Structure 1
Amino acid sequence: MTMIGRYRTAVFGLLLTTAACGSSDSIDEGTEVGRIDRPPTPESEFTPVELEATIDRLIAVINESTIEPMQMVVLLKNLDTFFEPIATGASRAMGELDVTGNVLGPTDQSGDSTTSQDLQNQQLAQAVAGGAEGIGVSPYGDVNAAAVDDAVAEGVHVVTLDTDVATSKRSLYVGLLNTSAGATAGKTLLAMLPPPPGTVVIHGTTAEDWVDGYARTQGALQEIEAAGYTPLVSQAAFFADEAYDVDAMKGQIEAADPPVVGMVGLFNISYRCVMGADAAGIPGVPIVAFDFDPKTVAYMREGRIKATHTQRQYYEGYLVPYILYSIKTIGLDATREVLAPLMDGDSRVDIGLDVVPSGKLDAYNTFLDEIGAVQ
């Protein structure tokens, strides 16, 4: 089967499961729908209070307006692993809004990236042709800018999530702000370190063409440097085996002057910091990580990783349909005004991140289970 065939089969399977998000197969113009009645979110120490309050305010303002049917679509790079909680959140929000819409994306990531990018551009065009009034999309980057702009030119508001196309005419971006996320990870580690001097290994990236990864790395680097430590970036080798990455870290740790006193990993392969520390003979060095990879969780249970930083994928997906619906009912400017507590500038909505200490793993897993967003 070709790559296109696999992709379309995955999308078709999802259509069968998400078509119920709409109250009917078509929209009758001028037909009002009921007020939005959002179920309460379970309370937890990990509940994002300001984010939850902002969503509730947005719903309250929408409910003061004329509630109308809407057709929308959310396009994701994938429906598995990292993106699964995003799909869960988006589907739930569409159900609460009673809109006609789907969450679409491949479940098979085989094939080259160019094919995936082209397919997503086709999906954007198809969504517009199919009558979508709002589109949420997790783009690959500037390669999707023209397709986004074409949708906007047809009067469709586009909201990006997870990754952005700031050069496009999209209305808003919803997701993590990587510079501040990297700074937060740096601060988490700094609280565990002895006074300077000392070297801190940052398992990040120096590749400026990967905008998000580079921004996250710079955020951590600046925070560590400002505290008086010597930052040392170890290039995260995503497309190499663990041994390659570990050997590179081992060499850097052994050559570091002053000696390494802490390590911070900024991506889902952060658990490799533990392996690098072991290889270099410093198993007791404080390590903090990023994301919620099973190996990271295992090392946290052993006490080797002291904390991790998780992205709020569920809320990322959940917020986008509400924003698209709000833009239709109260307008973009009014939507920005309600979202002000979360806004960075006039076009980026910061959903923040969760800092999870190793001793709070069970509590965090319980929270994820209660909102249906287990990672």
Structure 2
Amino acid sequence: MTRTGQCWMVAFGLTLMTAACGSSATSDSGEQVTPIKRAEIPQNEFTPLELEATVDALVAAINESPLDEAQMVVLLKNLDDFFAPIATGANRAMGELGVIGNVIGPNVTTVDGPSSQELQNQQIAQAVADGAHGIGVSPFDTTNAAAVDDAAANGVPVVTLDSDLPDSKRSLYVGTLNVPAGATAAKTLLAMLPPPPGTVVIHGILGATWPDGYDRTQGALAAIEEAGYKPVVSEAIFGDENEASDIERMRGNLVAASPPAVGILGLFNISYRCVPAADGAAMPGLPIVTFDFDPRTVDLMRQNRIKATHTQRQYYEGYLVPYILYGMKSIGLEATRAILAPLIEEDESKINIGIDVVPAEKIDAYNDFLVSIGSIQ
């Protein structure tokens, strides 16, 4: 069945997707079809040009193939905060593609109900039962691997995003590669430090049960050690109820540092907590570099307390996945992977969207970029 120029709109971000309904063309069978046309976005100094060019190349290849109807779903951990730009990007891409699709979240549970992982497994199984041609999923952990494998066994390709299941039968991963991301963040901070010796406190994760956090921490550790500083990891404690304990742990590591602390590197979206930790240790002048674009982080950057942050291009994580799923259906996995080659690192299954380095003095410019893609958090 050919793709018929239908523009199927999901509820989130409708105004971003109207450009998907363009002029029609005629297929060999005489049916009206709509070539895929991406919405135009003004260029900004933060626009990832290689990533944009790669998507354009994929669209060009897809447009040369029969444009079939497709059905897909993108499953996220939630639709708020960090995941809101991912939902925006996925919805825009599905609108441009004219596919039947949806972005699903959040996974809300009760004490006596199924876990978020169990609900996500049910969502994956339901997508297969509903006839999806592809699934994008941000898995919680390895307990979601069996559901991914079942989908693949039933002929439904799965692309992971944000977090990965490398030992599952997922076809590709889209997101930040965390070892180089951690190293990049470390180098941003290192440029602000006095010469060694000195201790750098890392708000990170040492337990390998969360591979993404662990890998990011390892990348930062290696870069800091190579530069001649002593890294000390203050294990991050997630959850609003644990904020005071997390800050106190970090404060203790700063006070106990030997040689004295010269900087703090936060690797997660909660790393705005580095600032009250430095204040509690009576070290308000320490250079602090963080990750992500939480509003509290932005406020502290405007106060020049956080010198820079690193964002994970969540919008592009969401935006790429529907195009990849459609490409796999239209031109096949190998052809899609060949077009994505400029973004592939580590192995042939990981698509690296990179990270943005945002200095405090570039907050307004970066906000302009986020506005231009409809991705304000």
Bigger shift: residues 162-171 or 113-122: 113-122
* Structure 1 residues 213 and 46: CA distance shift in structure 2, 3 A: same
- Separation of aligned partners in 1, 2:260 and 2:223: 19
* Structure 1 residues 140 and 285: CA distance shift in structure 2, 3 A: same
The Cα offsets for residues 162-189 of structure 1, whole Å up to 9 and x where unpaired, read as 1111111111000111111111100100
* Structure 1 residues 198 and 16: CA distance shift in structure 2, 3 A: closer
1:222 paired residue number: 222
- Structure 2 unaligned spans of 5+: 1-8, 22-28
**Number of aligned pairs?**
356
Tell whether 2:291 aligns with 1:290.
yes
1:3 paired residue number: none
1:157 paired residue number: 157
- 1:351 maps to a residue whose letter is I
- Separation of aligned partners in 1, 2:174 and 2:317: 6
2:238 paired residue number: 238
1:8 paired residue number: none
2:96 paired residue number: 96
The Cα offsets for residues 239-260 of structure 1, whole Å up to 9 and x where unpaired, read as 3533222222222212211111
Tell whether 2:166 aligns with 1:166.
yes
2:127 paired residue number: 127
- Separation of aligned partners in 2, 1:53 and 1:43: 12
- Separation of aligned partners in 1, 2:71 and 2:229: 52
Identity %: 64
- 1:315 maps to a residue whose letter is Y
What is the Cα-based RMSD across aligned positions, in Å? Answer: 2.1
Tell whether 2:72 aligns with 1:77.
no
* Structure 1 residues 92 and 255: CA distance shift in structure 2, 3 A: same
- Structure 1 unaligned spans of 5+: 1-13, 24-29
* Structure 1 residues 62 and 138: CA distance shift in structure 2, 3 A: same
- Separation of aligned partners in 2, 1:174 and 1:113: 30
1:115 paired residue number: 115
Tell whether 2:352 aligns with 1:350.
yes
The Cα offsets for residues 303-335 of structure 1, whole Å up to 9 and x where unpaired, read as 110000111111000000000010111110111
Are the aligned partners of 1:301 and 1:358 in contact in 2 as well (CA < 8 Å)?
yes
- Separation of aligned partners in 2, 1:311 and 1:279: 29
The Cα offsets for residues 194-232 of structure 1, whole Å up to 9 and x where unpaired, read as 111110000111112111111111110100000000001
1:4 paired residue number: none
The alignment partner of 2:33 has SS state of: coil
1:204 paired residue number: 204
User: How many angstroms does 1:16 deviate by?
Assistant: 5.6
Are the aligned partners of 2:13 and 2:92 in contact in 1 as well (CA < 8 Å)?
no
- 1:346 maps to a residue whose letter is E
- Separation of aligned partners in 2, 1:111 and 1:196: 50
1:271-310 aligned within 5 A? 271-310=272-311
- Separation of aligned partners in 1, 2:113 and 2:300: 32
The Cα offsets for residues 44-80 of structure 1, whole Å up to 9 and x where unpaired, read as 0110111111111111111121211111111111111
1:61 paired residue number: 61
The Cα offsets for residues 234-279 of structure 1, whole Å up to 9 and x where unpaired, read as 1111135332222222222122111111110001111111111111
Using the size of structure 2 for normalisation, the TM-score is 0.90
* Structure 1 residues 113 and 18: CA distance shift in structure 2, 3 A: farther
Are the aligned partners of 1:177 and 1:352 in contact in 2 as well (CA < 8 Å)?
yes
1:364 paired residue number: 366
- 1:34 maps to a residue whose letter is T
- Separation of aligned partners in 2, 1:286 and 1:154: 52
User: How many angstroms does 1:127 deviate by?
Assistant: 0.8
The Cα offsets for residues 82-127 of structure 1, whole Å up to 9 and x where unpaired, read as 1111111111101101111111112746658952111111111111
- Separation of aligned partners in 1, 2:261 and 2:202: 11
- 2:335 maps to a residue whose letter is A
Tell whether 2:235 aligns with 1:248.
no
1:10 paired residue number: none
Are the aligned partners of 1:185 and 1:220 in contact in 2 as well (CA < 8 Å)?
yes
* Structure 1 residues 112 and 223: CA distance shift in structure 2, 3 A: farther
1:176 paired residue number: 176
Are the aligned partners of 1:307 and 1:355 in contact in 2 as well (CA < 8 Å)?
yes
1:86 paired residue number: 86
User: How many angstroms does 1:156 deviate by?
Assistant: 0.9
